[in-house]
Structure 1
Amino acid sequence: MPSSLRTALLQSAPAPADALDRLDEAARRAAADGARLLVTSELYLTGYTPEAGFDALAEPADGPSARAVSALAARHGLAVVHGYAERGADGRLHNSAALTGPDGTPLAHYRKTHLYGDHEHRWFTPGDRPVVQARLDGLTLGLLVCYDVEFPETVRAHALAGTDLLCVPTALAEPFTVVPDTLVPARAVESQLYVAYANRTGTEGPYTFAGRSCLAAPDGTVPVRGGRDEELLLADADPALLAASRADSPYLRDRRPELYG
């Protein structure tokens, strides 16, 4: 059985002007504490409501910022999930997340499938791949973005595809703390996987972000939970606990899809 995957969650206020420098420092600190994975917030590189608009800031999946993230991941020897505004080959914009391996290799790329509110619908085209995965240190990692995790179908699709740790860059605003406090732990239990939920904090435009980032475990516990301030959170995703919890609560095995599709 693989060893535990120490996971870091970067809960930060919007600061796109020095986002890469702040990410580099967070990666250094996380790696020094034994982390092998660092998860940032939704649209971490650009901010959620940039004054210049996403047209001016969006980059292709292999653009300069992606190369900078690749370099810092390799420099510190840990995988990084970062949120950013992607410009696709057809010119359309996507609210995307990328997983870069600890050697700097791109491992997975995901476009948010469930857009939230007028702001996101104005700028972005939703993705159409519900499950994107990659392997890291013996575990299967999956990607969703913020609002996606609020739909039980998306998390269950990952569970059925074998995801062990679901990484969710997030920009959840007040007053919706029920999502990190109640819904995210419930998702982890009902689909028997870990959920790494990395939210923003602080204020940007009309939004005051809720913080409350967490790593939720499949047994109903929350090994780490953030508050309202900027912080770097660390906790372990334990394959032994995952296996034991799946044996004790075999929801996936006991499903009866013939009754509900």
Structure 2
Amino acid sequence: MRLAVWQGASPAGDAAAGLAALAPALKAAGALGAAALVAPESWLPGYNSDRIPALAQPRGGAWHRALAALCRDASCGVVTGYAERDGAAVYNAAVAFDAAGREVAHYRKIQLYGPREKALYVPGSAYEVFDLGGVKAALLICYDIEFAPHVAELAARGAEVILVPTANMKPFFHVVRATVPAMAANHGVAIAYANYCGVEGDLDYVGGSLIAGPHGEVLAQAGEAPALLVADIPAVDPARLSTQAADFRKV
């Protein structure tokens, strides 16, 4: 499978600008043969917007319709974070569309980060594993990927690749440099991790978006500027797979 990751500056509460920025990236990813493009956490309407509750949209709303149209136009799937309104509740969510513009997965962030997220959002309570172009894929969002039990559970359910919209800010450089590749290697899954770059309000993002292979190899990685990454996910080499799951001794 060929995957793409988009790293960009936050639309900062302007969802129309977010969709406009995503369109050429998705078009380029499709032209390069990617099955899907992964965009950052809460890309619609922007992670650090102070208007999240007012701007959040229901699943299947205008943002979803616009994303589906972009996918059809680009012949490329997309995974992106968005603020989801469900009645009185707001979720930090991610949605996946295939190249035909069909929704194939939907996920709500389980591990909310810090007091701001916990004040804004209701936590999710379910994993999402789905077929993406013949490959078993799963969704996590940002902080989720830093918890080994979540990654281990998805691997146990057969996930081969985990697609992760994120909003990782300074000083947490270790996440893009060490944590994500280690999670990939320890659990034998590829990880596509799409972060922001630049400054949004009081947050300065680390960038560093990456695509890691199932043995922890960094296949592509961004710096701290806008970037489009594209990489082929290699086949798993059984001889290199971690045996932690089978060997673990609980004491």
* TM-score where L is the length of structure 2: 0.95
Residue 202 (structure 1) aligns with: 198
Q: Does the aligned pair in 2 maintain the 1:11–1:200 contact within 8 Å? A: yes
Q: Deviations over 1:211-255 (max 9, x none)?
A: 0000111222101011000011111112x2x2x1x3432426633
Q: Report the 3-state secondary structure (helix = DSSP H, G, I; strand = E; otherwise coil) of the residue aligned with 1:210.
A: coil
Aligned counterparts, 1:209-248, within 5 A = 209-238=205-234, 240=235, 242=236, 244=237, 246-248=238-240
Q: Deviations over 1:158-197 (max 9, x none)?
A: 1000000100100000010100100100000000010001
Say if 2:118 is the partner of 1:121: yes
Residue 157 (structure 1) aligns with: 153
Residue 101 (structure 2) aligns with: 104
Instruction: Tell me the percent identity.
Output: 36
Q: Deviations over 1:78-105 (max 9, x none)?
A: 11001000011x3200000001111111
Distance 2:151 2:250 in 1: 16
Aligned counterparts, 1:1-261, within 5 A = 5-15=1-11, 16-17=13-14, 18-51=17-50, 53-88=51-86, 90-129=87-126, 131-238=127-234, 240=235, 242=236, 244=237, 246-251=238-243, 254-256=246-248, 259-260=249-250
Q: Does the aligned pair in 2 maintain the 1:160–1:252 contact within 8 Å? A: no
Distance 1:231 1:139 in 2: 25
Q: Does the aligned pair in 1 maintain the 2:152–2:187 contact within 8 Å? A: yes
Q: Which amino acid aligns with 2:19?
A: L
Q: Which runs of 4+ in 1 moved over 3 A?
A: none
Q: Does the aligned pair in 2 maintain the 1:173–1:209 contact within 8 Å? A: yes
Q: Which amino acid aligns with 1:148?
A: D
Q: Deviations over 1:118-176 (max 9, x none)?
A: 110110000000x2011122211100000001110110111000000100100000010
Tell me the matched-pair count: 248
Q: Does the aligned pair in 2 maintain the 1:110–1:144 contact within 8 Å? A: yes
Q: Which amino acid aligns with 1:144?
A: L
Q: Which amino acid aligns with 1:183?
A: T
Distance 2:199 2:139 in 1: 25
Distance 1:235 1:215 in 2: 7
Question: Which structure 1 residue ranges, 5 or more long, are not aligned?
Answer: none
Aligned-residue offset at 1:71: 0.9
Aligned-residue offset at 1:9: 0.5
